[in-house]
Structure 1
Amino acid sequence: MKRFWRRHSIILAVAAGVLCLLIASFGNRTATAVYLDQAAARGANTLGLAVTALRGQLARYEKLPELIADYKDIRDLVANPGDGARVAAMNRHLKAVNALLESSDIYVMLPDGLTLAASNYDQTPTFIGENFSYRPYFFDALAGGKGRFFALGTTSLKRGYYFGAPIRPNGGETVMGVVVVKIDVDAIESAWRGGDYEIVVTDPEGIIFMTGRPDWLFTTLQPLTEDRLARTAVTRRYAETPLVELPATRLRTADGHDLISISDRGGTRQYLTVTEAMPEADWTVKVLLDTASVRTQVLTTIAALVLLVALAAMGAAVWLQRRARLAERLQVQREAQEELERRVAERTADLAEVNRLLKDEVAERRATERALRKTQSDLVQAGKLAALGQMSAALSHELNQPLAAARTYADNAGILIERGRIDEARETVGRIASLVDRMASIGKHLRNFARKPNQKLGPVALDEAVRDTLEIVAWRLKAADAELVVDLGPAPPVVHAGSVRLQQVLVNIVSNAADAVEGLPDRRIELRARQEGDRVLITVADRGPGVPEAIAERIFDPFFSTKGVGKGLGLGLSISYNIVKDFGGSLTVGRRPDGGALVSIALDAAHAPARETSHEAAA
């Protein structure tokens, strides 16, 4: 059995190897020719569309110079070039016609090549006063023919196609001037960008003047000989623009395909070239298709054929192996079946026991997690209530002041009413209402702060959270004679958090900062926030003693405090750290380079601000 299998396996391997070599040798040439033909067909279709668009653009303006030249005012103008009023009127007329036709420029030239009137008379630079007698479109039209020329404007430095027509004032053969219409081809060129092909248009000297690749403009795929440069310089087709020869290598395949390799900063790329001439404009249009996709298709095809041969060989080998070992396998399968049934029974019993233990462990861990979350929530609430207890005396003072003022205003209102001074009494009652609103605002913030928050998160407007925080910690700042400087940027960020718990974090951090700067010469506390990508960084900096390195690692431990006895539970930073962690953010404490502590909070940015109807502000 083994000898039979080994002999036939060697024969199959040799046959498959020979077939793969034949596919790699002959299939590569055949597949390349086929895919190049398909690419050439696509390129010919693209080329036809590009040439049609160019011809359509030229045909749209081809007859316009003759129509404009036949206009009576134009003929009268060249007959009386010294009439300033006619020149000014014609300038305005040409500007209006140019805007209507959506052309680039329209201008009138005298027989000596001097521009008399132009649509850009009010622009800088203007064609008026310029002499373009060296342009072919001028002397062709001056000779009574049709002027056609593509060039880079020597004044405007903009590419355009020029149509020229002779002006005959009396309808005779004498040409007294030339009308020129310049059109812009940028709109067509911009549609060529993108895709796996490049479209270029070259002039009679082979210089590229239209292309979807800006770095190919005013370059040539042919050698820049002295004759070509001289002919280009005579007409100043490209003004002073330097002309560059692209490093290109040409190749013609046996199937008649033109290939060209072009090197640039991105490396060397090979293109399949499809060409069509436009004799009416003296242009040559080329479509260059990147052959990278062709090479990829060829490699994919060869790989697929080789893989198919390999799979066929493997299938034959499997079939032979099955024949050789069928009898032996049947016996092995019977023995393996019995052994498998025994092991499955044992493994099933083991898995059932493990599954039961896992269920018990999962239930225990879930109960532990619920207990931990409840404990954390209770600690958060205890921290807030402790902060409220510390606030009580100052808040009593905050409420007593408006109460005393309200009492005084009420007495004054009664006296004013008795004396008939109703307007002053109404103003006094308004002040009482303002004091009541202030007390209600203080009570509202304390009620919201003391309420046990919901665990749901959402967008929270940072400016609203800071404003509410200031209402709560104002007493502490006042007691420490500290100044809180808030800078949330031109557009206050919005973070993904819970509004009440975020307020608690800010209250804890600002209160700690107030404790740190109390009694110091510089009692400024800076709260800043900036959005950096999809994260918002909130920092609170003070100029106190800072956090010593010896206790930096323990700063977030529960019940750890650097304050005196009776001045805190040591839960503030621990609670704040866990709250920020629940938000998906991070809280760190460091030292400022010039002294003091720097607390940094990083949270995810959100898109819509939270309002008072959010989950955590709801009753």
Structure 2
Amino acid sequence: MTIRKGLAFSLLPLAVIVLIYQGSVLATRNYMDEASLQASSALRLAVSALSGHLSRYEPLPALIADHDDIKSLIERPGDAELRAAANIYLKEINTLLESSDIYVMTLDGETIAASNYDGPASFVGQNFSYRPYFQEAAKGLQSRFYALGTTSLKRGYYFSSPIIIDNAVRGVIVFKVDIDSIESSWQGGEYKIFVSDPEGIIFMTGSPEWLYSGILPLSPERLSRTQGSRRYAEAVLKPLPYRESIEDGHKLFTISSPGGTREYMALSQYVPDADWTVNVLMDTASVRSQARTVLVAVVLFFCLAGLALAILMQRRARAEERLRMQVEARNELEHRVEERTADLARVNQRIELEIAERRLTELELRKTQGDLIQAGKLAGLGQMSAALSHEFNQPLAAAKTYADSAAMLIDRDRVAEARDNVRRISALIDRMASISKHLRNFARKPNEKLGPVALDAVIEDTLEIVSARLKLAGATVEVAPSPSGWTVRAGSVRLQQVLVNILTNAADAIEGLDDRRILLAIAEDTGKVVITVRDHGAGVPTAIAERIFDPFYTTKDVGKGLGLGLSISYNIVKDFCGSLSVTNAPDGGAVFRLELEATSGLEDAAE
């Protein structure tokens, strides 16, 4: 028995080490999977933003190529008056569309008119016949190409179109789009975003030090293809100092820089229309930190369990020693005189009382240990219950429920009720499509028709949507009394989205506080309707007040937000020709102020 007990105690540390290691691996894998979901969402948004920015310009070269002045210039390229008229026309169009450059070339590649004809880096007289976009357009094809300008030394995305006269290609028109505005929005965010070409060279990035770096080996073949098209002019190409690895199915980049070495989770998506790959890197430092925290918690738990076991064994050994001493004392006391019997009896009573107290203490200790174990379980469940939540969660969950119900109703031949569920799913899809449309509108004004919207109905629907979140946070919304019948110039679904985002943020700010009131008030100020939402939380720190409406900027922990809610709301209100701002109340809490144009009467506003 003693040998078995000793063997069990010798194997116990090894078993504990194995359990700790497996727990660390499992925790790291779970946090990595959660981080991968966040990075996937950021990747989809980045691809959508890029595609939306470029798609607005794609049909324009063909439209401009059909202009009479352009066709006349191609037929008579030596006519000075036609050149001057074309230059002025291209400059006006370029200014109106806020593009980078527009220029016209003959079939030999010579530029005969350009929107920058009067600038220091004019394209007029330059020959771009070596560019793939010229070669494809000269064959009568629409072409797209991204490169560093050899004359302007500015990066851009090029759209080219043939100029067709009498069913024959007579020239080429090129439309260059500036991409700096999108690139600047990637800087300083939670994610590192960059775009690489088919040769693995980074063309766009929110980290300037990575520009023109290669994530693939810069072999002679790749350099030859790049230099043949002069995609990057005279820019110096260099390899990106990184090491790639795979962990539990996740691709990891370890990138070296003067400031040190950092590890990132890498996700990428190839965009066939643009012929580039969009990459999103997420710093794994927080993921590793969370895994280490779990590991420390597990180690601490086992240390406490070991300490408790040691205390129990020590007490058990002391009890055994006392029992042995009692036996020896009894044997000795049998040989003592009769007058010591009473004293020994009292000693025995005290010893028995102490033993009973020790046993009671041991029972209480076991109960306390059970409570600690249960508390540890609940704490672990609390950490794992954090889930990604965004504007699509409620419609998606509802759509899933309706879809399951529709399948059951069809099986029971209740087609009319199933059709009603399908109609509800379609309405939810329309609602999600309306919300997602704003992600493509960061760089342009939407073409949606706006009209008068009744605030009473919008606020009523909004409160219904956020009721579950408010109940979870223990928050209450107090709507200040105001005259009914207010109407504003907006879109009802998008205005409702703005109010949902603001009220949800307010619920996050006051969750767990004593004062969990949210005040919503409506007033009129010089022809505008002002909606204010005030919470009683910690307010907005001055250091982040200027960036709170930036895309991808968030102060929440990993997995609790992408930092898009307030940015989307800001752009929606801007489309309404209104304003959205945030200040701190004098007695504490944040105050969101939404100003919209007041209207009279109700019409149908498209959403």
Please, what TM-score do these two structures have when normalized by structure 2?
0.50
TM (norm. structure 1) is 0.49
Q: Which has the larger radius of gyration?
A: 1
